[in-house]
Amino acid sequence: MLVFKFGGASVKDASAVKNVAQIISLFPTKKKLVVVSAMGKTTNALEEIVDALSTNNYESYRYLVEEIIKYHLKIVDNLFLERHEGLVTFLDDMKEFLFEKIKKPFSEKYDYEYDQIVSLGEVISTKIIEAYLLDRTVSAIWIDTKQFIRTDNNYRNAFVDWKKTQELIDLNLRPLFKTSDVIVTQGFIGATAEGFATTLGREGSDYSAGIFAYCLDAESVTIWKDVPGMLNADPKWFDKTIKLNQISFQEAIELAYYGATVIHPKTIKPLQNKNIPLYVKSFVDPSASGTVISSVTDYDHLVPSFIFKMNQIKVGITPKDFSFIVEENLSHLFNILSTSGVQINLMQNSAISFDFVIENKPSVIKNLFSQLESDFIVTIEEGLELVTIRHYDQATIDRVTIDKEIILTQKSKQTARILMRNIK
Ligand code: ASP
Ligand code: MG
């Protein structure tokens, strides 16, 4: 049994959906569970819808709902030779359902409301994919992932209840493969014990694929993308990127930790635990080799990888009372940092000072500084970039630091991290 994951870009219009069906047909002898994201930029559009609703901006709410429904209707229109009554009715009902929301007051619990609405993007996309596969006489079945992925009620970033999820999948999902070749389901979504939709965090569909693969003991997972595989740098910051042909689970986890964005970071651990290989492949060129992520570590060091984080700020902390950082202040500091929701990208300390690097997000920083400033002298340096190089050597360091002023460097055996700024 194979698990496939198709992201928003791979289902953004009718010809993309046709291509998905084409890829599925390339593996005729295997059973497949297909996890699909919302089409194109639908999730962003749904986020705007939630904002409009929560601020009682009904005119723009209605307009945005109309637009989303129109977008999907057009895809449906272009997919089928004849009008697909089932899908047209489904989309009409969806529009009515969303319009009805105006009549009820928006819940105090923003994150709860967010998940109930934003999760609909995946419901719509998978309904369309299922209908198209059936039209092509594939033995496909749509399932509601809320019946299988059980989570807590930490809306917008829900945690998976693995035991319950495993139980539900064993009992109710595995048997479906006896009668269907392809099971189509939503990425990104789970449900609480009461059945309310939850989401697993933005870009969480990869993670859904990992969860299903783990619980179904899949042979492999393939994430189909608009790039040829995992690259050794983001082409946005780097020309002459190189594809990583084969890396280990551990290496993929490290790259994700330092900020590589190709795969959702939570995806890999469950696969590693069951030694299920993960392929990252191009949906444009499905026969090309892509990247294989597996337990094999032999090739990790072959290609250096570069991860850039821009718009960073270095924060320096010194106790006002001349106490030492490590002995007297570290736990207090970490407490403040962990409750303020900042993500620390780099840290370093001396006897009397502690430096850390975070992304320059004014709202978060304001709140953090107000807590720090009662006990510490806080200094900042803005306009920095942080580059992480896995499997570095001097040449790779020279390559990224050209015309830069180096503020701080940290090296371990495999990883160099350099905080720097443009020389003015
Ligand atoms: N549709 C969701 C998002 O855009 C989940 C995903 O694409 O993985 O965040
Ligand atoms: Mg998406």
* Per-residue confidence in pLDDT tens, the chain, 424 aa: 999 999 999 999 999 999 999 999 999 999 999 999 999 999 999 999 999 999 999 999 999 999 999 999 999 999 999 999 999 999 999 999 999 999 988 888 999 999 999 999 999 999 999 999 999 999 999 999 999 999 999 999 999 999 999 999 999 999 999 999 999 999 999 999 999 999 999 999 999 999 999 999 999 999 999 999 999 999 888 888 999 999 999 999 999 888 887 898 899 999 999 999 999 999 999 999 999 999 999 999 999 999 999 999 999 999 988 888 877 788 888 989 888 878 899 999 888 889 999 999 988 888 899 899 988 999 999 999 999 999 999 999 999 999 999 999 999 999 999 999 999 7
Q: Does ligand 1 come within 6 angstroms of the Cβ of 210? A: no
Angle, nearest 10°, between helix axes 42-54 and 120-135? Answer: 140
**Where is the domain boundary, 205, 225, 245?**
225
Ligand nearest to the CA of 118: 1
Say yes or no: 26 and 144 in one domain: yes
Residues lying with their CB under 5 A of ligand 2, a single-atom ion: 8, 37
Q: Does ligand 1 come within 6 angstroms of the Cβ of 186? A: no
Say yes or no: 324 and 216 in one domain: no
In a domain? residue 32: yes
DSSP character at residue 344: P
Question: 127 CA to middle of ligand 1, Å?
Answer: 16
**Where is the domain boundary, 184, 202, 225?**
225
Tell me the backbone φ, ψ of residue 11, rounded to 5 degrees: -135, 35
Bridge partners (DSSP) of residue 224 are: 6, 281
Count of structural domains, the chain: 2
Question: 44 CA to middle of ligand 2, Å?
Answer: 8
**What pTM was computed for the model?**
0.92
Q: Does ligand 1 come within 6 angstroms of the Cβ of 38? A: yes
Contacts of 261 (CB under 8 A, 6+ apart): 203, 234
Q: Does ligand 1 come within 6 angstroms of the Cβ of 115? A: no
In a domain? residue 102: yes
Q: Does ligand 1 come within 6 angstroms of the Cβ of 203? A: yes
Question: 155 CA to middle of ligand 2, Å?
Answer: 18
CATH code of the domain covering residue 99: 3.40.1160.10
Q: Can you list the alpha helix ranges (DSSP code H) found in 243-391?
A: 249-258, 268-274, 330-339, 362-372
Q: Which residue in 285, 302, 297 sits closest to 244, CA to CA?
A: 302
**Where is the domain boundary, 208, 225, 242?**
225
Say yes or no: 172 and 82 in one domain: yes
Question: 38 CA to middle of ligand 1, Å?
Answer: 6
Counts of helices then strands in the chain (DSSP H, E): 13, 16
Question: 204 CA to middle of ligand 2, Å?
Answer: 8
Give the domain range for residue 311: 305-422
Say yes or no: 198 and 317 in one domain: no
Say yes or no: 221 and 312 in one domain: no
Q: Going along 112-211, which residue ranges are E strands?
A: 140-142, 182-186, 189-191, 197-199
